[in-house]
């Protein structure tokens, strides 16, 4: 068996690897490192979780060991599709380059240009960036790409999903023809094939097995639910999800809950919290510091449930996730593979539960086609029964967070197809006046929510209504002894006025 010591890596890199506790390279590392060290282009077909990041970071550090960076001319470039993935590459770099003097800069959205400019001005060996942010810097004239000797494209298939391929092509053209290219993708879509044919020169091609077909450590289950009311489909699924989580008990140490849309991510996270679950959302609309805080919290165990969209969670390296729940069946089959691959990592056992409504059948068929076998069916927990509330007609404002205009996942240019609940939306839910896209809908405190929505609507329609609205809110927020939280709003105001 090959050991890291057999690879011709810089002794400083080997020392850092040993300190990280790794002895044996993973298959993608074993395949990619030797040709990369020879200066060859590499085409790695591998998913996250295979160790591919170290597969390119380790040879890069070794190759860059000789030479020095010049101002504004990075010597190497790593492109990643999302901020989180870029940050993860940067972390890997810090780990493996700690005994070297190499410098890096991370160019991602949500961080001020000024700080990033300063680093680039000083000269960096490794520039890690998302494509859009890199081009922003380039266009501001702060960056020259003519010194790039090694260029890495990570998660190219995700770049394709997010509409970044034109940016990638442009960046390729801005770098020297003589550069070395290390290119990684989980799949080889025709568009990816075209890019690699154009920009890679006789690459060493290394393919490692797909996760979904090899990972026997993930127990998969599909629970089908036929909502008794179409307009309460999401609510009924939330009740089922809670029941499934509760039935898992302590075996569920932590979990990622996947939704297809950002609005649903927010709704589910709020709903989980209101039912006493330690949950937090992550998606592309949250600012960077919030996303980082949430991820750190999930990694260190202070957050137990991460409610996520595909883009936000894809490729994230969170080693110990006991469960994945697909609150929405993914509408792209390959997303299923990526989602469930968040659990059952590094030989640990994992459980992946998918909830599906009848409208999801076509997605489930596509997933089963891709992974080449049926997802085992499972029943809802024995004691599961829908609440009465979930079987009553939906409140008028139930759909208020589902703004159509912004109804995309974080990926650029590809609207997430509505399905299931949304496709089945009742006329009441779909009525424009019932929508309030700027707010998300928690399940509890329903009377209060409905009242606030109404108050807001009224005050918006009235001149001077804003201050009126604020005053009413202040009145309402003052504690009213003995009335609890669930008192109809008009009652609390009346009592408050009398007491004051
Ligand atoms: P990646 O596919 O790059 O996201 O890596 C997945 C995980 O594998 C990360 O937690 C790495 O720290 C870990 N890892 C990378 N290389 C090795 C190795 N040779 N042996 C064991 N774990 C590794």
Q: Check which CATH number belongs to the domain holding 156 and give it.
A: 3.40.50.300
**One domain for residues 199 and 253:** no
From 4, 17, 21, 51, give the residue whose CB has the most ligand 1 atoms within 8 Å, as the site to mutate.
51
CA of 321 to the centre of ligand 1 (A): 15
Helices 465-477, 489-499: axis angle to 10 degrees equals 80
Closest residue CA from atom 16 of ligand 1:
51
Q: Which residues line ligand 1 (CB under 6 A)?
A: 22, 24-26, 29, 48-54, 317, 319
Compute the distance from residue 30 Cα to the ligand 1 centre, in Å: 12
Query: Which atom of ligand 1 is closest in space to residue 95's alpha carbon?
Result: 12
Going by alpha carbons, the residue nearest to atom 17 of ligand 1 is 51
Average pLDDT over residues 235-245: 96
Closest C-alpha to 186, from 322, 333, 328: 333
Are 478 and 372 part of one and the same domain? no
- Ligand 1 atom with the smallest distance to the CA of 46 is 2
Residue 497: inside a domain, yes or no?
no
CA-48 nearest atom, ligand 1: 2
- Which residues make beta-bridge pairs with 62? none
Residue 425: the pLDDT is 28
**Helices (H), strands (E): how many in the chain?**
20, 14
Measured by CA distance, the residue closest to atom 11 of ligand 1 is 51
The answer as to whether 258 is a domain residue is: yes
Ligand 1 atom with minimal separation from the 47 CA: 2
* Nearest residue (CA) to ligand 1, atom 5: 51
Residues 193 and 122 in one domain: yes
Distance of CA 407 to the CA centre of its chain: 16
Question: In terms of domains, do 226 and 129 share one?
Answer: no
Does some domain include residue 325? yes
**Contact present, 386 and 236 (Cβ < 8 Å):** yes
| Residues 60, 180: Cα–Cα separation, whole Å | 10
Residue nearest (by alpha carbon) to ligand 1 atom 14: 51
- pLDDT tens digits along 393-441: 887 655 444 443 333 333 333 333 333 333 332 222 223 333 333 222 2
Residue 32 pLDDT grade (very low, low, confident, very high; cuts 50, 70, 90): very high
Burial label, 309 (beta-carbon count in 10 A; 0-12, 13-18, 19+): buried
How many angstroms separate the alpha carbon of residue 260 from the centre of ligand 1?
A: 28
* 259 and 405, same domain (yes or no): no
pTM: 0.59
What separation in Å is there between the alpha carbon of 319 and the centre of ligand 1? 9
Residue 212 falls within a domain, yes or no?
no
Last residue of a domain, one of 360, 391, 422: 391
Tokens in use for 152? 């890495």
In a domain, 167, yes or no: yes
The pair of three-digit structure tokens given for residue 39, joined into one six-digit string: 């200066």
Residue having the nearest C-alpha atom to atom 6 of ligand 1 = 49
Alpha carbon of 52 to those of 32, 132, 286: distances in Å? 9, 23, 28
Name the residue of 24, 30, 54 whose CB sits within 8 Å of the most ligand 1 atoms, as the mutation to test its pocket: 54
Are both 152 and 116 inside the same structural domain?
yes
- pLDDT value at position 349? 83
Integer Cα distance of 275 and 294 in angstroms: 19
- Phi first, then psi: give them for residue 325, nearest 5 degrees: -120, 125
Q: Which of 30-44, 178-192, 204-218, 328-342 has the highest mean pLDDT?
A: 30-44
Q: Indicate whether 74 and 149 sit together in one domain.
A: yes
Give Cα separations from 363 to 103, 188, 347, 404, 437 (angstroms): 45, 21, 28, 21, 27
Least confident of 36-50, 203-217, 394-408: 394-408
Q: Whose CA is nearest to atom 13 of ligand 1?
A: 51
End-to-end Cα distance, the chain: 80
Domain assignment present for residue 424? The answer is: yes
| Cα(484)–Cα(491) distance, integer angstroms | 12
Q: Which atom of ligand 1 is nearest to the CA of 317?
A: 4
- What spacing in Å lies between the alpha carbon of 345 and ligand 1's midpoint? 10
CA distances from 72 to 77, 137, 141, 248, 380 (A): 12, 11, 10, 53, 58
Query: Ligand 1 centroid to 426 CA: how many Å?
Result: 47
Range of lowest pLDDT (165-179, 267-281, 445-459): 445-459
Q: Are 169 and 276 in a shared domain?
A: no
Same domain, 417 and 307: no
Q: What share of the chain is helix, strand, coil (3-state, %, to 5)?
A: 45, 15, 40
Q: How far apart are CA 128 and CA 104, in angstroms?
A: 7
Q: Which of 328, 455, 446 is nearest to 390 (CA)?
A: 446
Residue 340 Cα, ligand 1 centroid: separation in angstroms? Answer: 17
Same domain (yes/no): 451, 437: no
Pick the last residue of a domain from 207, 229, 261. 207
Q: Indicate the number of domains in the chain.
A: 4
Relative to beta strand 377-378, strand 218-224 is parallel
Give the closest residue (by CA) to ligand 1 atom 15.
51
pLDDT tens profile 434-468: 333 322 222 332 233 333 333 333 333 333 333 33
CA of 92 to the centre of ligand 1 (A): 9
Domain that residue 190 falls in = 4-207
Tokens of 267: 């709704």
Q: What is the pLDDT of residues 107-152, one digit of tens each?
A: 998 788 888 889 999 999 999 999 999 999 999 998 999 999 999 9
Q: Residue 284 — φ and ψ, nearest 5°?
A: -65, -15
Closest to 429 in 3D by CA, of 456, 396, 405: 396
Integer Cα distance of 298 and 308 in angstroms: 12
d(CA 283, ligand 1 centre) in Å: 24
Q: What is the CB neighbour count within 10 angstroms for residue 24?
A: 11
Same domain, yes or no: 383 and 404: no
Query: Ligand 1 centre from 52 Cα, in Å?
Result: 7
Give the residue, out of 14, 28, 47, 53, with the most ligand 1 atoms within 8 A of its beta carbon, to mutate for a pocket test. Answer: 53
Instruction: Identify whether the C-beta of residue 324 lies closer than 8 Å to the C-beta of residue 217.
Output: no
């Amino acid at each position: 068996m090959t050991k890291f010591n057999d690879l011709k890596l810089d002794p400083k890199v080997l020392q850092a690897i040993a300190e990280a506790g790794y002895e044996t390279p993973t298959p993608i590392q074993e395949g990619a490192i030797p040709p990369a060290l020879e200066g060859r282009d590499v085409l790695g077909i591998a998913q996250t979780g295979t160790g591919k990041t170290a597969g390119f970071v380790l040879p890069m550090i070794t190759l860059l060991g000789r030479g020095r960076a010049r101002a504004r001319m990075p010597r190497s470039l790593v492109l990643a599709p999302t901020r989180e993935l870029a940050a993860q590459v940067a972390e890997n770099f810090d780990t493996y380059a700690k005994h070297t003097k190499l410098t890096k800069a991370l160019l991602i959205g949500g961080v001020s240009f000024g700080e990033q400019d300063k680093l680039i001005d000083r000269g960096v060996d490794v520039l890690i960036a998302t494509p859009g942010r890199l081009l922003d810097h380039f266009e501001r004239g702060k960056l020259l790409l003519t010194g790039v000797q090694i260029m890495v494209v990570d998660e190219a298939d995700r770049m394709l999903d997010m509409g970044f391929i034109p940016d990638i092509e442009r960046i390729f053209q801005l770098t020297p023809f003589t550069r070395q290219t290390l290119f990684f993708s989980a799949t080889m879509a025709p568009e990816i094939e075209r890019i690699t044919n154009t920009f890679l020169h006789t690459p060493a091609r290394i393919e490692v097995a797909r996760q979904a077909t090899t990972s026997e450590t993930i127990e998969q289950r599909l629970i089908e639910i036929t909502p008794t009311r179409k307009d309460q489909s999401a609510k009924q699924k939330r009740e089922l999800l809670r029941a499934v989580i509760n039935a898992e008990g302590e075996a569920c140490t932590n979990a990622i809950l996947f939704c297809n849309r950002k609005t649903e991510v927010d709704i589910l996270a709020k709903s989980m919290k209101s039912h006493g679950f330690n949950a937090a959302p992550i998606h592309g609309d949250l600012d960077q510091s919030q996303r980082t805080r949430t991820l750190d919290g999930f990694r260190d165990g202070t957050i137990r449930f991460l409610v996520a969209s595909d883009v936000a969670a894809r490729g994230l390296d969170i080693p110990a996730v006991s469960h994945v729940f697909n609150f929405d069946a993914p509408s792209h089959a390959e997303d299923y593979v990526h989602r469930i691959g968040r659990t059952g990592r590094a030989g640990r056992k994992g459980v992946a539960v998918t909830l599906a409504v009848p409208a999801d059948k076509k997605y489930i068929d596509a997933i089963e086609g891709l992974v080449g076998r049926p997802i085992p069916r499972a029943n809802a927990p024995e004691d599961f029964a829908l609440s009465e509330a979930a079987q009553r007609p939906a409140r008028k404002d139930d759909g208020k967070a589902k703004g159509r205009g912004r109804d995309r996942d974080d990926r650029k240019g590809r609207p997430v197809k509505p399905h299931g609940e949304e496709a089945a939306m009742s006329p009441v839910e779909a009525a424009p006046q019932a929508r309030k896209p700027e707010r998300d809908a928690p399940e509890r405190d329903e009377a209060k929510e409905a009242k606030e929505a109404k108050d807001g609507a009224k005050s918006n329609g009235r001149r001077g209504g804003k201050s009126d609205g604020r005053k009413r809110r202040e009145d309402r927020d003052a504690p009213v002894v003995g009335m609890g939280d669930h008192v109809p709003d008009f009652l609390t105001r009346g009592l408050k006025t009398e007491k004051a």
